[in-house]
Structure 1
Amino acid sequence: MTETFQFATLLVEEDEQGIVCCTFNRPEVRNALNLEMVQEVRQLLDQLARRDAVRVLIFTGAGGQAFVSGADIAELRERGRAEALQRINNSLFREIEQFPAPTIAAVRGWALGGGCELAMACDLRIAGESARFGQPEVRLGIIPGAGATYRLPRLVGLGKARELIYTGRIIEASEALAIGLVNEVVPDDQVLEKARALAREIAAASPLAVRFAKMALNAAFEMSTDVGLTLETMMQAILFEDEEKYRRMTAFLERKQRKQKA
Structure 2
Amino acid sequence: MTEYDDIIVGRAGRIGTLTFNRPEKGNTLRPQTLAEVCCGLDELIADPEVRAIVLAATGKHFCAGADFSFLDELTRMPASDIKAQIYAHFQGAAKRLYTCSKPTLALVQGAAVTVGCELALACDFRIVAETAFFQESWIKLGIMPPLGGLFLLPRLAGLGRASQMVLLGQAVKAVEAERIGLAGEVVPVDMLAGRGAAFAEELAAIAPLAYASVKEALHRGLETSMEAEWSANLLNQALLLGTEDFREGLDAVKAKRAPVFGAR
TM-score (norm. length: structure 1): 0.90
Q: How does 1:1-262 map to 2 (within 5 A)?
A: 4-16=1-13, 18-63=14-59, 65-79=60-74, 80=77, 81-86=79-84, 87-88=86-87, 89-255=90-256
Are the equivalent residues in 1 in contact too, given 2:44–2:53 (CA < 8 A)?
Answer: no
Matched AA of 1:238: L
Matched AA of 1:23: T
Deviation >4 Å, runs of 4+: none
The match for 1:260 is none
Are the equivalent residues in 1 in contact too, given 2:103–2:204 (CA < 8 A)?
Answer: no
Q: Determine the C-alpha separation between the residues in 2 that align with 1:6 and 1:56.
A: 21
Q: CA deviation at 1:5?
A: 4.2
Q: Determine the C-alpha separation between the residues in 2 that align with 1:228 and 1:83.
A: 38
Q: Determine the C-alpha separation between the residues in 1 that align with 2:139 and 2:244.
A: 52
Task: Specify the SS of the correspondent of 1:177.
Answer: helix
Question: Structure 1 unaligned runs (5+)?
Answer: 257-262
Matched AA of 1:115: G
Select between 93-102 and 244-253 the one with higher mean Cα deviation.
244-253
Matched AA of 2:244: E
Aligned-residue sequence identity (percent) comes to 34
In the comparison of the two structures, how many residue pairs are matched? 251
Q: CA deviation at 1:11?
A: 1.1
Are the equivalent residues in 1 in contact too, given 2:126–2:183 (CA < 8 A)?
Answer: yes
Task: Specify the SS of the correspondent of 2:255.
Answer: helix
Q: Determine the C-alpha separation between the residues in 2 that align with 1:13 and 1:108.
A: 20
Q: Determine the C-alpha separation between the residues in 2 that align with 1:243 and 1:7.
A: 37
Label 1:156 to 1:13 Cα distance change in 2 as closer, same or farther (>3 A).
same
The match for 2:262 is none
Task: Specify the SS of the correspondent of 1:59.
Answer: strand
Are the equivalent residues in 2 in contact too, given 1:5–1:13 (CA < 8 A)?
Answer: no
Are the equivalent residues in 2 in contact too, given 1:5–1:11 (CA < 8 A)?
Answer: no
Select between 29-38 and 243-252 the one with higher mean Cα deviation.
243-252
Task: Specify the SS of the correspondent of 2:62.
Answer: strand
Select between 78-87 and 147-156 the one with higher mean Cα deviation.
78-87
Matched AA of 1:134: Q
Deviation string 1:152-184 (CA, Å, 9 cap, x unpaired) is 111101111011111111221111111111111
Are the equivalent residues in 1 in contact too, given 2:101–2:211 (CA < 8 A)?
Answer: no
Select between 45-54 and 200-209 the one with higher mean Cα deviation.
45-54
Q: CA deviation at 1:76?
A: 1.9
Label 1:8 to 1:77 Cα distance change in 2 as closer, same or farther (>3 A).
same
Question: Structure 2 unaligned runs (5+)?
Answer: 258-264
Over the aligned positions, Cα root-mean-square deviation in angstroms equals: 1.6
